[in-house]
Structure 1
Amino acid sequence: MEWYVVGLGMLGLLMGFIIIGLPIPFALAAASIPFLLDILSLKSSLVTVELKLWGVWFDYILLAVPLFVFLGELIGRSSIGPNLYWFMHSKLPVRGAAAYGSIGACAGFGAVCGSSMVGALTIGGVALPEMLKLGYGKRLSSGVLAAGGTLSVLLPPSLILLFYGIVTDQSIGALFIAGVVPGLILVTMFFIIVAVWGKVKPQDIPGQESINPIPWLVALSALLPVIIIGLVITISIYAGIATPTEAAGVSAVFTLILAYFFGGLRWQGLLEALKSTMQTMGYLGLLLSSGVLFGFVMTYHQIPQQFTQLFVDMQLSPYAVLAMIVVFYIVLGMFLEPVSMTFITLPTLYPLVSAAGFDLIWFGVVYTITMEIAVLTPPVGLNLFVIQNLAKDEVSIGDVIIGCVPFIVALATLLLLLVGLPDTALWLPELME
């Protein structure tokens, strides 16, 4: 069969299976099998499916994924995350301290947890009820926390950057450090949005907040673990002391110890963290394995190479190609969550980015920002529903969506900044070399 027939057939089957409600991992595998049978016998196809579904987890680098997920769950089940928010809130003597503190806490949490949803859930679970009680506007409160969760996937360690590096065979350490400067710029932009919001709609930010200040000893119990874990991850990877997998393992052990002594984690919390990690990895494991099978069939028919050649022959400018890819991901992100998009589309599209002459480390940051926009756009924006579910009696999904609009604009602005000034992402990795 011609490559475009196979490509359109696989895509059509995939979308059909998703529409009828088949989970994405099973939809990927089911869309692959008919075309696998076209090139191999039934017996060979079964062996290939087995090897692709299970063999992928022999990749050493993939061990970092469950370890980073476990790390985030440990913090989420302890008092470290909530105490981090209380510290950021009570120690900021400015109007709008709870909003600024939420962003700061999300950024701090992002420095030790790579999951956007876990970040939004952990900080939002404490901050949203408190902000509403203090008199903050519903849209500002929900928008700050939904957008704040996205900081976890740009500031290292990031699961999206980790998956991107696995799919594109790029340095995980270089990708992590490339996200630092854009991540800090994004935090600053979010602060500016809150300040401007307070000027435009002063009724959404209370003039005076009555809150019990957090004792310094409790504050240190929140700050020290985050600082220690963040330093263990960053220094060990960037200094070449450990691989990302080794850094994830060591930081997970440190987190377990610190969560017990400083975060009040007990046996029940540990069991819940392990259970949640296994549930998450059950889905991610199936998704990754079926994504590899899907990619194998596409690669056999040379779909990525032919697709890239098609665009090269069209002689489009590199920036036209980049714009098409970004728009494609933003639209697709309205219907699929980021991890699924990574394994479904990235194997086909990243060769096109490389052929257009763009640095793949730089594009990793661009890609991650588009994924941040994806989790904030309806109808399948994960962070929207996570935050709305925390206060569903008081906040509607419409409030969350409208509250996120200024933050989506900030993400789009950062995207344009990266296109205009690629060194925003590349300067720090080049300096580290």
Structure 2
Amino acid sequence: MDHTDPMEGASDPVPAQNWGGRIEMLEGVLRAITQRIAILAVAAILLMSFSTIVDIILRTFFRTAIYGLNELLALLVAVAASTALPYGLSKGSALSVDLLSSFLPGSVKAWLTAVTPILIAVFFALVGMRTWMSAEAMQATRETTMITLTPKAPFFYIMASSCLVVALLQAVMALRLVIVAVAVTGPVARLIALIAAGIAFHSILVLFGLADGAIYQAVLPANSTTLAVVAFVLLWVAIMLGLPIGVTMGVIGIIGVANILGSRSTLEILGSEPSQFVTRDSLSVMPLFLLMGAFAGVAGIGKDLFALCNALLGHVRDGLAHASILACALFGTLTGSSIATQLTVGKIALTEMQQRNYQPSLATGTIAAGGTLGQLIPPSSALILYAILTEQSVGQLFVGAVIPGILATLFYMFTVAVWLWLRPGDAVKGAAASFQEIARAARGSWSVILLLGVVLGGIYLGFFTELEAGSVGAGGAFLVALFRGKLTPSRFWATMADSTGSLAMIYSLIFGVVVLSFFFGISGVPAAFTRFITGLGLSPFGIVLALVACYLVLGTVMDPFAMMVVTIPFFAPLVTGLGFDPVWWGIMTIMCMEAGMISPPFGLNMFVIASLDNRIPIGTVYRGCWPFFASTLFKIGLLLAFPALVTWLPSTM
């Protein structure tokens, strides 16, 4: 018989597990809603690409055009990308580098995990509120676009709302993770967390002018350059602890700007800088080329490209390795992604080389090196990011990367040839393909090669803007996948959902780096950094060599995108201030990234290759990558000695 008093415990708080369940349910509902919105937003970007293709056809054959399309397209892509942010970031797509967290106690890791959504929520709440106020100002002044006179306020209202939804969803996630962290930590850790939360809340009140911030002015350095140096050190500590890079940069930037200019100016900057930046054509290109790569993967293009290269070269002793490198180069031009290239082409090539008894170190090293070509050969997401961060022409960078990309491919093939000249037993010859087999492989690849020629040729000949080229690439890859019968409705929507993660990663980085770059700019630290480096007495060429060495070291432990967003605000102004060409330095930066991706012990590509077959020890992959790493160093030296390899082709545009 149950003797429990029905009123017993009625006034007790709801157990933590009950709260956790309710919060998790709310989080699930919000994620389901934002997922559908994000998928429709990415699909809308694809639809915009077809509107651009129609505009190109009208302009070319009928001497007319869709009035003001390019002007509206940048705004529409920015709106669509921003509405993909809530779901994309909820999937954990924010870029981070986990170097130290594995050495920390479980309770500390639990709190660091909870801090991630808190940072995202705070940053996007501030950006969203100030962007909303900017939209209100646009509405009050009836601000319009220049050509079509379309009111701009509605676009910015949507972007602001998206940022606020990001903050809401991340706040719910943070609450769930805080409950988990509280459950696994002791009273001292809880007290420390409570104090930190109080400081953070008070800081927000200070930012909005609702509390006195004198204590922060007393604690923080008065000199703006010193403040920036402290901020840079804190940024590196946060990155090594695994916190999201983009929003961490944004939060540190907010604190720095507020200390120099005051809270009112900081809020005005938050409402103008990020939202204005994401409407630029150079950033609007990114989602289009991401879609191009996504549909290329769906269409099975990587398999066809490998089949063609293998049919042409597979009969010679080193032919299968050469075919792998060429297929990686061609597929990398479509995806702009090293990881996607390795997972698609690498899996096929590795299986084929294992069946032909290739030495595992040669097979894995070849694929790891070939995967890096996706970052260099245009259209590349890394090149677009460099263009955004340095305000350079995307088209100039694409064209400037053509010759280095070809050289990189040839040097990797030469490395394979030297390897097998020294160790001929590491590979065997294959059977020569018949003419019918070559023709069959060519039929499967011609549409892809044509698409690449149209996209890159259109940019070089001035027939397309970068935005139009991205539209042609996305629309063309979609049609290739559709006509091959690979794009079922479920596959289409899955591709849209997967693309939200990439968009969220890129745009959260951009939001953060814009604020941090503004802070560094007003602090004078780039100029101080330039004075410090030039004061060392090194020649301009010696300084560039030192920066290259720095990149090579960082590349062994950092993600390439993380390395770019942290270093470019300092390195690029220094190099261009020394009189070097910014396009040349952009290609040099990507080359250094390539080297880092295949350099032990933490080169990203090596771990991707090892994941394709868990029977291959990571030490085998290390041994396979060393010759290709040396080849990359030689390529870097060649570009240092002959910058015209980069600058000549853009000069002819």
Common topology (TM > 0.5): yes
Map 1:82-161; keep pairs closer than 5 Å: 82-92=303-313, 93-161=315-383
| 1:379-409 deviation per Cα after TM superposition (whole angstroms, max 9, x unaligned) | 44221121111112x2122222221111111
Could you say which residue in structure 1 is the equivalent of 2:54? none
User: C-alpha offsets along residues 39-95 of structure 1, whole Å, 9 cap, x if unaligned?
Assistant: 244455345335444443111221111111111111112221111112211332312
Equivalent in 243, 268, 280 of residue 59 of structure 1: 280
Q: In the alignment, is residue 224 of structure 1 matched against residue 430 of structure 2?
A: no
The amino acid that maps onto 1:382 is L
The change in CA–CA distance for 1:425 and 1:198 in structure 2 (over 3 A counts) is: same
Higher mean displacement: 105-114 or 204-213: 204-213
CA distance in 2, matches of 1:104, 1:191: 9
Paired position in structure 2 for 1:80: 301
Cα offset, 1:15, TM superposition: 1.6
Match of 1:364 among 569, 586, 590: 586
Residue pair 2:316, 2:430 contacting (<8 A) in 1 also: no
Note the 1:335-346 alignment, pairs <5 A.
335-346=557-568
Q: 2:234 aligns with which of 13, 20, 23?
A: 13
Q: Which residue of 2 aligns with 1:419?
A: 640
Please name the residue that 1:34 is paired with: 255
Q: Does structure 1 residue 324 correspond to structure 2 residue 546? A: yes
Counterpart-to-counterpart distance in 2, 1:316 and 1:267: 60
Matched, 1:428 2:649: yes
Q: Match for 1:82: what amino acid?
A: K
Aligned with residue 311 of structure 1, among 516, 533, 550: 533
Aligned residues: 431
User: Which structure carries more relative contact order (alpha carbon 8 Å, separation 6+)?
Assistant: 1
**Separation in 1, partners of 2:520, 2:564:** 15
- Secondary structure (helix, strand or coil) at the match of 1:316 reads coil
Please name the residue that 1:255 is paired with.
477
Whether the aligned pair in 2 keeps the contact of 1:90 and 1:97 (CA below 8 Å) is no
Query: Measured at CA, do residues 288 and 78 of structure 1 come closer, stay the same or move farther in structure 2, by a change above 3 Å?
Result: same
In structure 1, stretches of 5+ residues that fail to align are none
Tell me by how many angstroms 1:361 deviates.
1.5
* 8 Å Cα contact 2:595-2:632 kept in structure 1: yes
Residues 305 and 122 of structure 1, relative CA distance in 2, 3 Å threshold = same
Q: 2:497 and 2:241 mapped to 1: Cα distance?
A: 29
2:645 corresponds to 1:404: no
C-alpha distance in 2 between matches for 1:213 and 1:42 = 71
Corresponding letter in the other structure for 1:201: R
Question: Paired residue for 1:297?
Answer: 519
Give the aligned residue type for 1:169. Answer: E
Deviates more, 1:118-127 or 1:46-55: 46-55
Correspondence list, 1:279-298, <5 A: 279-298=501-520
Quote the Cα distance in structure 2 between the aligned partners of 1:260 and 1:404.
37
Residues 79 and 265 of structure 1 are in contact (CA less than 8 Å); yes or no, is this contact kept in structure 2?
no
- Identify the match of residue 386 of structure 1 among 580, 585, 608: 608
Task: Give yes or no for contact 1:139–1:403 (8 Å, CA) kept in 2.
Answer: yes
The letter of the residue matching 1:337 is D
1:213-242 CA distances to partner (integer Å, 9 max, x unpaired)?
984564234321221211121122111122
- Residue by residue over 1:334-372, the C-alpha shift from the partner in whole angstroms, topping out at 9 and shown as x without a partner, is 222122222221111111101222111111111110011
Q: Which amino acid aligns with 1:86?
A: A
SS in 2 for 1:135: coil
Return the alpha-carbon distance in structure 1 between the equivalents of residues 505 and 412 of structure 2. 32
Asked if 2 retains the 8 angstrom alpha-carbon contact of 1:304 and 1:347, the reply is yes
Matches of 1:150 and 1:222, distance apart in 2: 24
Change (3 A) 1:43 1:379: farther
Is 1:68 matched up with 2:285?
no
Deviations 1:74-131 (A, max 9, x none): 1112221111112211332312322111011011113323222222221112111221
Deviation sequence 1:113-159 (CA, Å, 0-9, x none): 32222222211121112211221111111111111011112211122
TM superposition score normalised by structure 2: 0.63
Asked whether the 8 Å contact 2:311–2:437 carries over to 1, the reply is: no
| Amino acid corresponding to residue 338 of structure 2 in structure 1 | S
Would the alpha carbon gap of residues 308 and 383 (structure 1) be closer, same or farther in structure 2, given more than 3 Å must change? Answer: same
Root-mean-square deviation (Å): 2.2
Higher mean displacement: 123-132 or 318-327: 123-132
Q: Would you identify which runs of 4 or more consecutive aligned residues in structure 1 move more than 6 Å?
A: 210-214
